[in-house]
A and B are shown apart, each in its own frame.
Chain A
Amino acid sequence: MMVRAVLFMTDLGYATKPADSDARQDDWKDRMKLKADRATLLKALAHVQNVVEKRNTIPILANVLLSVKEGRLTIAATDLEIALIEDVPVEAAQDGSVTAPAATLYEIVRRQPEHAQVELDHPGGDAPLALRAGRYATKLVVLPTDEFPKLDAGKLSHRFSIPAQALRGLIDRTRFAISTEETRYYLNGIYVHAAESDGAAVLRAVATDGHRLARVEEPLPDGAAGMPGVIIPRKTVNEIRKLLEDVTGEIAIALSETRIQFTLDTMRMTSKLIDGTYPDYSKVIPVGNDKILRVDTNDFSNAVARVSAITAERHKPVKLSVARDLLVLSATSPDQGTASEELDGEQVEYSSTPLEIGFQARYLNDVTEQIKGHVEFCFADGAAPTLVRAAGDQSAIFVLMPMRV
């Protein structure tokens, strides 16, 4: 049954302007009409349709909410955990709102010729949404706007901004370590909090799945001091990272203990946070690992790739045998054979006692991908967690749990 009702929108729901309008849209009108160019519409639809849950069972969650007000269109999508709205300039417009299937709408717009003008026209109620572009015309089934769920951000206690580049760095160097395991749900995200590192205030991002841990720091932005530690869910991290692809400049972040909100250009993403306590990761970061291996990152990761190619089993370790200025990587597979590669004094620096230790190849690669120049391994022994970092860079450290070899 289609129900028509007045749509209320708060600033965290789907207001026309993502800035700070608290106005409620009381002047709901029946007809919604707009005209926009394909490229503008497509970009926004591409962003929001990522958020739409692909296999959802609630029909309205497959839809985007289109609202026109004061000559602007906002497109919104949500999966009940994340809400993304994007503000788009349109040409001719008549205020109103409607919801339509996200994936279909995106596909239709995508397939229009490059410079097409797209017209959307919704007469109101449960009448279909008409889309016209040149000689193309379609009518899409709509769902009532009042069914579209609103993700309320509540009161956000801390606001700060961070350069897009810095946020990308925090995400890229930690997200590979996020756990996917349901039982330890509190590890299913990046833990972001304010901390102190060598006397400097930092914004710290941590992720771990129990086998490896990544800890990355950026200078603490103004306004972030005293913020609660928050666990940003994996999906939110991945979605925000996609949006960051096209963005430069500053990203505004607002957060509370339960919500986080990112504002980038004309987009605003609001997300729930993982409701849990992040474990005290500091005690698993080894201190005093004094056997230091320094090796060229490229040489090392290429050797790991070549040596581990022998075994199709991802869980098989690559063995590192370290002696004075010598590193031998080796792997064995019961079915396929063995492989080894030597890196010597040209590429390797090591002066402690000889040592053998094994790691999963994928874990080594995940870490070295984030390191340029030289990588430093700080070992305690062949069985204890190993600290990895870029030589001369204190901003990121990684901890790897060895495997038995």
Chain B
Amino acid sequence: MPTLCRDCDAVLIQPGAELSGACPQCGGRRLISHAELGTLAIAHIDCDAFFASVEKRDRPELRDRPVIVGGGTRGVVAACCYVARLSGVRSAMPMFKALKLCPDATVIRPDLSKYGAVAREIRDMMQRLTPLVQPLSIDEAALDLAGTEALHGAPPAAVLSRFARDVETNVGVTVSIGLAANRLRAKLAAERDKPRGFAILGADTAAVLAPEPLGTLPGIGPALVRKLAGLGMTRIGQLAALDPRTARQRLGDDGPSLVARARGEDNRRVNPVRETKSISAETTFAHDITDPVLLGRALWPLCEKLGRRLRAEQFAAAALVLKLKTARFETHTHAVRLTAPTQLPETIFEAAKPIVHQAAGPAFRLIGIGAARLVPANLADHGDLMDQESPRRAARQQAMDTIRAKFGADIIRRGTVE
């Protein structure tokens, strides 16, 4: 069975016997053996505790300390390092709960522009391996390396192993890699060996997955887990064993596709076209806010942020969604129609502010604004017969962006907005 040394990327073929212990070439002990090691080509790459890792890289004194990236006492955990995870802290956990579990954690406010830059660096490195890179989130991507062996002079497994070490050395964060025959299996594999992992799921997938709890499968959330438990199924193997007709009878129209997923079947291609994602910005207040004027003040920086992100990602918002979460955790969303697509904070603010005033009444803990429909940036802010202001605003914004790029983000700022 072929064996890969993750310290020197050597693929060793030892007929008859399985290699164990150390790599005969470099003495490294991180060996991985799999029958399909030389042939599988779909990879899922996931950065480990990404935001926290970037922060630890920049502040080495925190290396062995629990680090939580997230906002204030009222926000949620955006990322937590593996030290913090030992105390039970998880992503998306409310901050107060995380701090109760891990009171000595160092809390760092997220610096998304920094993480974005690091993510781009890593993505550029991926792109050198194959043009078929599909970013799935800021710290995750699927890669199709089929047919690249001749180019790299090594099978995908070895290329990926080298990539992981390159990222560690050059970027300073670690990644976990899953290698398989399709995207679903690759993702599941990446999750099996974290952090700094490398796992392969081949023909053995069904057997490997069978004893796992159903919640391990992407797309099976707590509600579905409960429903399946009600039908007597708790392990992936039980779901995989259903034939399509029974699945449809018992689970409805989605049944057969759930069974396929449980069997590790997936025919999605790695699609390098950027997925149209949503762009939004939100903030949780330190103290609940009722006053519409204060809500408006909280909204302005979010509009600036949303505009900045739209411009950075080369999109324009054709419609907006305003989100308000009450102190009792009820989320209200309001769609806001725009006259024309925009990237400008003032235009976003002017469209959203009346809705804030209409919604005012209860105490709110969170406000957010997002682009509801993304269109290409070249459609933004042309103005029309009755709107001569937008092109002027766009020019002003462009000038501000240029100045900021040269002298830093804080060099110029818009005056008060009410």
Contacts and interface: CB of A to CB of B under 8 A. Distances in A.
A211 B384 contact: yes
A369 to B, nearest CB: 20
Contacts of B385: 208, 210-213, 281, 284, 385, 399, 401
Interface in B43-58: none
A183 B339 contact: yes
A181 B385 CA distance: 14
Contacts of A183: 337-339, 351
A210 B384 contact: yes
A385 B386 CA distance: 12
B168 interface: no
Nearest to A280: B386
Interface residues of A, number: 16
A182 interface: yes
Nearest to B350: A183
Interface in A206-223: 208, 210-213
Contacts of B387: 210
Nearest to B354: A183
Contacts of B338: 183
A213 B384 CA distance: 11
B386 A184 contact: yes
Contacts of B351: 183
A226 interface: no
A334 interface: no
A279 interface: yes
Contacts of A279: 386
A182 B336 CA distance: 9
Contacts of A182: 337
Interface string A159-192: 0000000000000000000000111100100000
Interface in B345-393: 351, 384-388
Contacts of A208: 385-386
Contacts of A385: 385
B386 A187 contact: yes
Nearest to A211: B384
Interface string B329-346: 000000001110000000
Nearest to A177: B385
A183 B388 CA distance: 16
Size category of the B interface is under 10
Contacts, number: 31
A187 B385 CA distance: 12
Interface string A333-371: 000000000000000000000000000000000000000
Interface in A129-184: 181-184
B386 A284 contact: yes
A184 B384 CA distance: 12
B312 to A, nearest CB: 25
Contacts of B384: 210-211, 401
Nearest to A210: B384
B404 to A, nearest CB: 28
Interface in B376-418: 384-388
Interface in B171-211: none
Nearest to A279: B386
Nearest to B340: A210
Interface string A281-297: 10010000000000000
A182 B387 CA distance: 15
A399 B385 CA distance: 9
A181 B338 CA distance: 8
A184 B386 CA distance: 10
Nearest to A400: B385
A135 to B, nearest CB: 53
A305 B274 CA distance: 37
Contacts of A187: 386
B337 A210 contact: no
Contacts of A213: 385
Nearest to A186: B386
Contacts of B337: 181-183
Interface string A380-392: 0000010000000
Contacts of A212: 385
Contacts of B339: 181, 183-184, 210
B90 to A, nearest CB: 41
Nearest to A180: B337
A334 to B, nearest CB: 15
A291 B418 CA distance: 46
Contacts of A399: 385
A174 to B, nearest CB: 14
Contacts of B386: 184, 187, 208, 210, 279, 281, 284
A212 B384 CA distance: 9
A281 B388 CA distance: 11
A262 B222 CA distance: 62
A211 B384 CA distance: 6
A52 B17 CA distance: 86
A401 B339 CA distance: 15
A339 to B, nearest CB: 25
B272 to A, nearest CB: 22
A218 B339 CA distance: 31
A187 B386 CA distance: 9
Nearest to B386: A210
A8 B176 CA distance: 80
A284 B386 CA distance: 8
B149 to A, nearest CB: 37
Nearest to A213: B385
Interface string B250-283: 0000000000000000000000000000000000
B300 to A, nearest CB: 18
A78 B45 CA distance: 64
Interface in B299-338: 337-338
A167 B95 CA distance: 66
Contacts of A181: 337, 339
Contacts of B388: 284
Nearest to A385: B385
A83 to B, nearest CB: 26
B382 to A, nearest CB: 9
A298 to B, nearest CB: 27
Nearest to A284: B385
Nearest to B338: A183
A139 B384 CA distance: 55
A213 B386 CA distance: 9
Q: List 3 A-B pairs, minimum CB-CB distance, nearest first.
A: A210-B384, A210-B386, A284-B385
Given A184-B339, A208-B386, 7 more contacts: A181-B337, A182-B337, A183-B337, A183-B339, A210-B387, A284-B385, A399-B385
18 contacts: A181-B337, A181-B339, A182-B337, A183-B338, A183-B339, A208-B385, A208-B386, A210-B384, A210-B387, A211-B384, A212-B385, A281-B385, A281-B386, A284-B385, A284-B388, A399-B385, A401-B384, A401-B385
